[in-house]
Structure 1
Amino acid sequence: MTPRGADRHAWLAIALVALLGTLLRVGYVGTPGFPTDVATFSAWAQRLAEIGPARFYEPGYFSDYPPGFLYVLWVLGVLFQGEPLRLAIKAITIPFDLGIAALVAAYLWKRSGRRSSVIACALWLLGPGVIFAGTFWGQVDAVGTLPFLASLLAAGRKRWLLAGTLAAVSAMVKPQFGLALVVVGAAALLTYVRTNEWRPIARVVLSSVGTVLALGLPFRSGALELIGIVRGASETYPFTSLFAFNIWSIVGDFWKPDDAFFAIGALLLALGIIASCVPLWWRRDTSALLVAGAFTVFAFYFLPTRAHERYLYPALALLLPFAATRARILVPYLVLSLSFFVTLVYVFTQYQLVSAPGYFDALMGSRGGQIALALVMMGGAIAIAILLLRGEASMTPTLPTVPRVALPASLASGGPPRRRDYVLALLVALAVLATRGYRLDQPRDMYFDEVYHARTAFELLAQREPYEWTHPHLAKELMALGIIAFADDRVVGHEVPPPDVTAFAVSNDGVRVYGDRQGRILVADRGGAPRVLFTGPLPALALGVEEDTVYGANEEEVFAISLADASHRSSHALPTSRDVTAFAVLSGGRVVIGTSTLTAIYPAVTSDPVRVAIPSIGVASKPDGSELYLLEPGGSVRVVDPVGGIDSRSYASTGPARAIAYALGPNRLFLARTNEPLLDVIDLEGGHREQVPLANDRTGAFASGATALAVVPRTQFLYALADGRLVIAETHGASPYVALPTGATRIGVDGTGDTIVLPGPAAADIVETGRHALAWRLPGVVFGALLAFVLVLLTRRLFRGAALPAVVGGLVLLDGSMFAQPRIGMNDVYVAAFLVAAWYFVVAAHRPRRSAEVDLLAAGVLFGLALATKWVAAYAIAALALAVMGITALAWAREEPGRGGPLDLFKGRGLNALLLVGCFGAIPGLLYLASYLHWFGGPTAPYGWDLVELTKQMYWYHSGLTSPHPAGSPWWTWPLDLKPVYWYYAQSADGGAAVIYDAGNVVLFWGAFVATGWATVAALRARSISLGFVIFALFAQLLAWIFVSRVVFFYHFFTALPFYLMALACALVVLWEGGRRTVVAGYVALAVAAFLFFYPFVSGVPIPAAEAGIFFILPTWQYGCQFYPTFTCAIGPASDIALGSLVTRLGLPLVLAAISIALWRVPPTRIREWIAARRS
């Protein structure tokens, strides 16, 4: 490589680091930061803008900063107000951080080489402590550190006038940065003492005094006023340690009165600063000045009381040139830098500004942990000091170069898939369809965020305003297509009822019960002929079935008849004869009779009723019978305690109604209007009311309202008879989306048969009810199969090894999150499939079958579909834009502009830039806009918003979603599967339970965590583009969540998960080809065992309720899962699980794993010999 090319490579690396560092900082600008500090700076900026600097320090107004930084705030206060001002203050350190990095890089470029400059930029701009103290916190240490550093570099070049000026500017930013004046002044003074040269000290004194006075003049601050500010700042917090992990944090703890220690600390500080300047007696070059400056910062942080946590910040900048060049300095520097970051996080946890993991609180919350960290920091500082004093204070590079390594041939670049690759991908996709499709209709009702996404799919069909407008809607449109195609809302059969039916009911297990005009009670099994159970004196007016008993009422009495033995009949007189307007049977055999004057609640048929002075024409109740809802003739609803008959609350009428039903899932009441085809919906949580028309484009027009309502308990769907049709509505969104013609006059629910029975004059129609969940979930499973299909082909495109695609496919099949996510009606699997497919065509463009341009167009379309599904696709598009710029720059650095491949902007004399902008800018944008076209101007436009307003509302919703959530988890926990998301829990009467968590396979996740670290290093050392792409795509989807301030969940990791598993597959293949086949076989067997063990945990397969907690292998997996009153679970802790249950549950998977490993260790020849012996 030519020197010019080497320079270009270094410039490119520095630019890349600077861009990444800037993006990291910009991402944190919107966070709250430390509210007190940010609010104080905002108030000072506004004050300066309003009254100017001359009156700023008026008596009684608090300000402990000298004028230096106030000039910056003055400018910001003039330019911005309100939230823009807060954001500007948070962002102000970004140019100063870039300035520090540029200053050190420029200094090292000629003295230590290009590599040292790049390393210095990376250490500073990517340092977590520096980022945290800047844009995350909202503090301004970088503003004072830049002139501090620059003053020492100027003094090292003997530019004393500039050095004095810069040191004075530094001191005027914050008092602690006055250490720059101490070091520069000491160097100038010692120059006079050793060489009798008086000009340096004179220039330093004149320039520094002049600068201080000039900066203070507009603020009317002379020497005495400035001394007063410094004194006031030091006296504001008279405590041992203000979260500085120094000797006083050990001796006296944090924030304790320092009366007994202040003098000692002051003496130690004076001695420390003097000692820090002693090396300048022998050397006053740049290295010696940086050493002395760093030592004074150490002294100011570790020795006095009243030291703040951030006082160590300048030392990290002053030591940066040594860390970037000297191998022995780098390690203690990193220890000190990371420890500094931990202390800042600790401060935020103490003010409850961030939530830290339990182990962090346990460690740092103890005195032992705090003392240990203080000792680590002091040890790091001492180690650096000793090394610098013993010869490491030099800019001669000693960091070893990292040799390039070779990867196995299987990880070499791949190529277009062959026929066998397509066959393999198809087999994996079919396996995904089969395994994820099994029991897909369970649970039958909506769970977790299906109540948003799947609900909205029904709202789109019913032309209702979408409830879930906070994401793009393409996934919900696809679910709606699944509902149309697979819901199977149709009449699937007919039965012949007896003639002259006066009453009808169906038991949960399908027994039909009829009453006729002859007074007979007839029963029929599912599909069977009616038979007479009992003949009474009067025809039944109403019937109901509970357990094995038929309950009913005629004009004179309420009665109960055993289905097993009709001779077991009991009865009780009605409150008033010939007056039955409503009837219901509650759990436990409680019977409710409504009349025109009152409502009677019979605890048992043979008992006297509880009389409630409320007339009712309709009755509904919660399934457990805990609340009774009485529909009054005028349309109002009264809520009554069924035990004592106490009227607890009411809902006023919005119009006459004649039928009522209760849906448990959304906790809503539905009323059928008498005079118009409307449903009156009452939300029992907040009392919200709305009126929903039965008519829409899918259901048609109605001449009259509904006459009967029923809710299917399994699915929570509402069925209404209206105007000769059965209208089916989803209850969470109250969305009538289909209507079936029928001549029925009554409705019965066959629970276990998943049907609705609709008896009419001539026949009873049977309508399927159990396929709705399958319908809205099946598209997700199809996209899960598509994701697996494309991921296998992408692996083949990236890598040469024939086994790698098969390994990736196997890992997809064995992962719990890859299993659970496609089975729920949410949008994550859709966007993940689109993104993986888009990346496939981006990769394919580099070795196209026909045309790279066609591949790029296909990628742009898929990115657009992903963006129309969920905004996280923007992360991938932004990452691709960065890749395009990086590839273009790399080709330029190699002095081959335009030859960087299909993503090179300069290809085709710059015409390729137009293609790339069109493919990855225009096409995704147009597809996103096109996906909303039919929303606007129609009934599905939410709240009448246009697209601009909708986009604003979407952003504000997500940015404001900061309330804690029991299942929320920070981004860094996802790769280790530290907190899976609770989705569903239900118990059955027989002691069984079904549970669904979104949890990854811990064996795969923990292995992939190590594999990702290896792959990152291996990609860099081997210069592997394919392996680098895997890491790039993974981090593009993961790291963007660092800056998201809203509550986030483990399932947000799903778009990164395909590449996480691909990194694991690469590591397994390398181990396999490296002779570690037994290790790989054992690991895979253990992963299979883990999948089998956790299968009920991610699938909802019923297990004994007592064993539901057995899957909580980590403390962080067990948490309170009541998200709102109707969404709770009661899973016992793992400590309640019997040892026998644990052994039983673990036994089979572990035995199978052990057998697999044992068989693997047996040579194939031995196996063939054993089989032959068995046959003989």
Structure 2
Amino acid sequence: MKRKALGLLVILGGAFLFRIILALCITGFETDVNTFKAWGSIVRSQGLSNVYYDENLFLDYPPGYLYVLVALDWLRSIFGLAAESTLYTLMIKLPSIVADLVTGWLLYRWVVPRQGEKAGLFFMALYLFCPAIWLNSAVWGQVDGFCLLVGIWALLLLLDEKYLLCGAVYGVALLLKPQQIFLLPVFLFFVAKKRSLKGLGLGFLGAMGALLLLAFSFVRGLDYGTLLAQYVETVNNYAYYTVNAFNLYGMLGLNWQSLDGLAGWVRTALSYGPALVMTAGGWLMYRRAKSSEALFGVASLIFSGVFTFSIMMHERYLFPALLLWLMSCVVTGDRRQWAHFLLMAGVHGANVWFVLAYQNIYVEPFSPIIVGLSVLQVLLFIGQVFLCVDLFVRGHRMTGMVQKPVSEDSWFFEREEPRLKKKDWGLMLLVTLVYAVVAFWNLGSTSMPVTCWTPQQGEVVVLRLDAPADTLRYLPGLTVPVVGESSVTGVDCTISVSVDGLSWGEEVPLTGDAVYTWQEIPYNGSFSYVKLTSGHAPAVLAEMAFFDEQGKYVPYTVERSGETSEALHDEASEVPENPTWYDSMYFDEIYHARSAYEYLLGAEPYENTHPPLGKWIMAIGIMWFGMNPFGWRFMGALFGVGMLPLLYHMTKRLTRSSGGAFLATFLFAFDFMHITQTRMATIDTYAVFFTLVMFDGMLCFLQKDLLRMPVSRLLRPLAVSGLGVGLGAAAKWNTLYGAVGLAVLFFWRILSCRRNLGQNWQRSYLTRQTVRLITGCFGCFVFLPMLCYGLAFLPQLCLPGHSLGDFWGYQTSMYDYHSSLQATHAFSSSWWQWPLMERPVWYHVTYNPGGQEGTLCTIAGMGSPLLWWGGLAALLYTLVRAVRRRRGVACFILVGYGACYVPWMLVSRLTFLYHYFPCVPFLAMAVAFWYTKTFETAGKKPCRLLFPRSPHRFWQKVTLGDGIITGLCIISVGFVILFWPVITGVPVSSSYIHWLQWLPGWFFGG
């Protein structure tokens, strides 16, 4: 009994807390939320009986929910809350949030007698944490969940044959939303099959009584005709083929397209025809069904059919179909229906998210997202029809997935530890070498001017050009006059030009002081002389060059100069003709790569908002290849390559499948974020690398036998994991988020082992073993990380003018920066936007490179749609497996993903899409997990579907699993080729870049 209560408390409490956080963090669909607030205030001030007679008031809701809004406005006035306050917005969402919880509890109560306690908890959790459900209530602020609760209650009363009460509750449902009318056919089916005229009469009386009684306060003199007209107006209020509903008309590009000009009879047929057809088809299915509980599947099919084929549908009209289909899954236990439910929930959730995310942005009707999701919805409906016929008419069921939960050891530690075989080494090296070519290809220029001109205050330099020029190009640099102090940078100079060296033009100040980033000043006319005058602030120029109208370099000599003026043109051969990202620093390279160079020069680093290890690693590449783009990007690309063997090793240990490990590694290797971030000199690459190290070490520990293995051997992988924590923290603090997941996995492993021990002496031994392990963990996860972290600062603290006492000052400086950061950025995004790539980070653009009009070089940080969007579906599958089967593999993936993602929900500072990068390897693992569990049996058989008659032995050995891996890899490479210009900055036409901007939040400069 206690475990039952605890399970209910954890699921309901977690779902409630999760929704409250979402409701407070996200305003939702502001138009709807503000409309609800206004209706509550207006109805309370004008009186219930007046609102439907006010011609100046827009009110397209029936009376039912107005009672709730009036009550909420009354509470607002009592507590003195402002209408625009966050707390009142939460109150507006609260009825739907509570309704979600009550619906989940009702589902639990309904499932338990049929499948048991664990199944009841599972189905309740699945419903409450389904994104399509909480998006509607906690994020959007809509009331579909509230209305669905009443409708489902009526349906359950119907199955209990409580006709009068059922009719009354259904009458309330109709007063809440007109769309509840689509439940009416199943009520009629039930009484028709029972041949109960008494039930029909009682239901009718109950419904009419509730309708008339609750609507009485809103009419004058029994004028119910006004309310009936309101219902008709609500149905016809949006005269468009589809209002953001991704259905047949969305597939045809008719989203928000007006029905004006459509013949009246055609409009009527498209409005009511699908409902009539679905009603007739539903009756034929229900009449043949053996169980009255087939009502759930038939009702879901009616909602889906009307949503897919009727005009004037909104995106949320499919909402009731999800719960009805889920309840049908409980009844049938058919695993095909389970897969269909997950797809259906995913497509509907994506539909709602899309509308919510782009509520104030115009989207082309033929947007690939709209058309693609609409096609999926049509296909899902067709599949639902076939499933219903097979389940309810033919009586065929494919059970075995959901009937009885399986209890098994979460970490299967009794099995032999998986090892890499020759095949694994071959596959791992293959994908690693192929990606290495991609990573280092065209990484950056291997040469760049380094020596700098550092003029004295007021120094004047006159340059005579060998030929007329019209463009000036210069490279800001840096010097370190005093070791241990900050470097000197700046461009405090003015420049004036002359044709003859006698008459000088206006002095123009140099701008753009980002070091080692080529700057350009074009002039309207040509010139032959240039005069540079330094100002009061420092000026450090690594090189200055001039180009003529044809873009060719123009040599020059110094006519009047200071002591160091020769440095202005001593490296003329290294001046690029068409500078882009290839020759310059871009995005955060101007901070991180610069600081790496300053470390080598013995200067106080310019960027001290992150720990120094990542920049010291970059400095190794600069030592090897020089201060140039290839040098400062080399180590990031190398660590990006190094991530792949780590991911392969981890996935192979998790899934015990070479194919799954190869698939995960390949998809991650050719993920856009992985390619772009690792080819750029920023510290995020090292944070992700060390995150993989620490989780790989923990996984090795999880798969060891805690009883038979000595503590010294158990501590080895924990030491590797702790090393990853320390090095990761020394590169970027947010790596510590993953350390929370390590703690969860460690103690989960201990408890899992204890639960599977049957004898007291074994438990006693495990207790002593646990004490030894925890003691060792202080060394692995406290002492070792602190040592790594401290040593990373040691070179900096040993500089002249510094001491070990400065260590704490650096920590407080970093914390103060991040905790008080109030900056804004056009391409920032919130945590809830990351999984669906709503706002990629635009890193760089060069328009018309090489003088080619209509072209550009652009780089943006985003993910591969296949891995990021497909990975979400795989993650949902992993969640289902974790809850139902309690599989350690699934739990490991979910804990890793959650540890890297969930903490960002609590961060209020400016965030970007690349902060999601550490989560991406776990998406790849989820895809591999889905692959191994779905095709571990079918994948071993020859794929007759692809090669049914091939006599060749090779094709006869090709399995379905091989086909899936090959297909996914081809799609992944196809996406890379398609987006290659955006990933790597290859010059391409602006129109092509514009075409790649599939979502309104995607902007790459085209």
Instruction: Report the TM-score range of the alignment, normalised by the length of the smaller protein.
Output: 0.5 to 0.7
Residue 665 of structure 1, aligned match among 518, 531, 549: 518
- Aligned residue runs from structure 1 range 1134-1145, under 5 A: none
Q: Which moved more, 1:130-139 or 1:922-931?
A: 922-931
> Matches of 2:188 and 2:877 in 1, distance apart?
50
Identify the structure with the greater helix proportion: 2
Q: Say whether 1:584 aligns with 2:463.
A: yes
> Tell me, what secondary structure is at the counterpart of 1:621?
strand
Match of 2:114?
111
- Cα offset, 1:155, TM superposition: 3.6
Match of 1:176?
179
CA contact (8 A) 2:893 2:925 kept: no
Q: Say whether 1:866 aligns with 2:728.
A: yes
Residue 695 of structure 2, aligned match among 833, 839, 851: 839
Residue 876 of structure 1, aligned match among 715, 729, 738: 738
Q: Which moved more, 1:190-199 or 1:817-826?
A: 190-199
Residue 961 of structure 1, aligned match among 825, 828, 831: 828
- Cα offset, 1:150, TM superposition: 1.6
Identify the structure with the greater strand proportion: 1
Structure 1 counterpart of 2:368, which letter?
F
CA contact (8 A) 1:167 1:178 kept: no
> Matches of 1:996 and 1:196 in 2, distance apart?
68
Q: Deviations over 1:222-267 (max 9, x none)?
A: 9567546434423432445545577888999853136604555676
Residue 320 of structure 2, aligned match among 296, 299, 314: 314
- Cα offset, 1:194, TM superposition: 3.4
Change over 3 Å in CA distance of 1:1060–1:211 after alignment to 2:
same
Change over 3 Å in CA distance of 1:1080–1:1117 after alignment to 2:
farther
Q: Say whether 1:287 aligns with 2:265.
A: no
Change over 3 Å in CA distance of 1:355–1:406 after alignment to 2:
farther
> Matches of 1:796 and 1:375 in 2, distance apart?
37
- Aligned residue runs from structure 1 range 872-1021, under 5 A: 873=735, 876-877=738-739, 879-880=741-742, 883=745, 947=815, 950-953=818-821, 957=824, 961-962=828-829
> Tell me, what secondary structure is at the counterpart of 2:821?
helix
Residue 368 of structure 2, aligned match among 347, 355, 360: 360
Q: Deviations over 1:917-969 (max 9, x none)?
A: 9999999999999999999x999999x99946732526x64796159xxxxx9
Q: Deviations over 1:701-754 (max 9, x none)?
A: xxx99998748678899xxxxxxxxxxxx988999969999xxxxxxxxxxxxx
Change over 3 Å in CA distance of 1:940–1:242 after alignment to 2:
same
Q: Say whether 1:1115 aligns with 2:978.
A: yes
> Matches of 1:1081 and 1:281 in 2, distance apart?
46
- Cα offset, 1:810, TM superposition: 12
Match of 1:61?
57
Change over 3 Å in CA distance of 1:740–1:681 after alignment to 2:
closer
Match of 1:36?
31
Aligned sequence identity (%): 17
> Matches of 2:418 and 2:223 in 1, distance apart?
73
Match of 1:260?
264
- Cα offset, 1:175, TM superposition: 3.0
- Cα offset, 1:863, TM superposition: 3.8
- Cα offset, 1:582, TM superposition: 3.8
- Cα offset, 1:149, TM superposition: 0.6
> Tell me, what secondary structure is at the counterpart of 2:393?
helix
Q: Deviations over 1:681-709 (max 9, x none)?
A: 99x9xxxxxxxxxxxxxxxxxxx999987
- Aligned residue runs from structure 1 range 63-462, under 5 A: 63-65=59-61, 66=63, 67-70=66-69, 74=73, 81-83=84-86, 85-86=88-89, 93-114=96-117, 117=120, 120-121=123-124, 124-125=127-128, 127=130, 129-130=132-133, 133-135=136-138, 137-159=140-162, 163=166, 166-177=169-180, 194-195=197-198, 206=209, 209-211=212-214, 226-227=227-228, 229-239=230-240, 241-243=242-244, 254-257=257-260, 260-261=264-265, 264=269, 287=293, 290=296, 294=300, 297=303, 301=307, 306-326=312-332, 327=334, 330=338, 337=345, 340=348, 344=352, 353=361, 360-361=368-369, 363=371, 376=379, 379=382, 382-383=385-386, 386=389, 390=393, 412-414=415-417, 442-444=445-447
> Matches of 2:315 and 2:683 in 1, distance apart?
44
> Matches of 1:304 and 1:1001 in 2, distance apart?
35
> Matches of 1:948 and 1:1047 in 2, distance apart?
16
> Matches of 2:162 and 2:268 in 1, distance apart?
37
CA contact (8 A) 2:668 2:920 kept: no
CA contact (8 A) 2:829 2:913 kept: no
Structure 1 counterpart of 2:176, which letter?
V
> Matches of 1:242 and 1:429 in 2, distance apart?
47
Change over 3 Å in CA distance of 1:867–1:22 after alignment to 2:
farther
Structure 1 stretches of 5 or more lacking a match? Answer: 447-486, 491-503, 506-579, 592-600, 604-619, 625-634, 655-659, 685-703, 718-729, 742-766, 964-968, 990-994, 1095-1109, 1123-1127, 1136-1176
> Matches of 2:898 and 2:321 in 1, distance apart?
31
> Matches of 2:779 and 2:532 in 1, distance apart?
53
> Matches of 2:10 and 2:117 in 1, distance apart?
13
CA contact (8 A) 1:860 1:919 kept: yes
> Matches of 2:127 and 2:283 in 1, distance apart?
25
Q: Deviations over 1:37-60 (max 9, x none)?
A: 344345556768999989977832
* Corresponding residue pairs, total: 843
CA contact (8 A) 1:26 1:91 kept: no
Structure 2 counterpart of 1:63, which letter?
L
> Tell me, what secondary structure is at the counterpart of 1:584?
strand
Greater Rg by CA: 1
- Cα offset, 1:106, TM superposition: 1.9
Change over 3 Å in CA distance of 1:387–1:170 after alignment to 2:
farther
> Matches of 1:416 and 1:707 in 2, distance apart?
63
CA contact (8 A) 1:171 1:178 kept: yes
- Aligned residue runs from structure 1 range 604-683, under 5 A: 621-622=472-473, 637-638=494-495, 640=497, 651=508, 665=518, 678-679=538-539
> Matches of 2:43 and 2:759 in 1, distance apart?
50
Match of 2:684?
828
CA contact (8 A) 1:112 1:395 kept: no
Match of 2:1001?
none
> Matches of 2:440 and 2:24 in 1, distance apart?
44
- Cα offset, 1:154, TM superposition: 2.8
- Cα offset, 1:148, TM superposition: 1.1
Structure 2 counterpart of 1:287, which letter?
E
- Cα offset, 1:354, TM superposition: 9.3
Change over 3 Å in CA distance of 1:1134–1:285 after alignment to 2:
closer
Change over 3 Å in CA distance of 1:361–1:583 after alignment to 2:
same
Change over 3 Å in CA distance of 1:52–1:876 after alignment to 2:
farther
> Matches of 1:820 and 1:839 in 2, distance apart?
23
Change over 3 Å in CA distance of 1:1061–1:324 after alignment to 2:
closer
> Matches of 1:1116 and 1:339 in 2, distance apart?
24
Change over 3 Å in CA distance of 1:265–1:843 after alignment to 2:
closer
> Matches of 2:185 and 2:99 in 1, distance apart?
22
Change over 3 Å in CA distance of 1:818–1:810 after alignment to 2:
same
Structure 1 counterpart of 2:463, which letter?
A
> Tell me, what secondary structure is at the counterpart of 1:311?
helix
Q: What TM-score does the superposition give when structure 2 sets the normalisation length? A: 0.58
> Matches of 1:705 and 1:222 in 2, distance apart?
97
Structure 2 stretches of 5 or more lacking a match? Answer: 476-491, 523-529, 545-561, 577-588, 603-622, 705-709, 852-856, 943-952, 994-1006
> Matches of 1:652 and 1:739 in 2, distance apart?
31
> Tell me, what secondary structure is at the counterpart of 2:317?
coil
Structure 2 counterpart of 1:830, which letter?
Y
> Tell me, what secondary structure is at the counterpart of 1:316?
helix
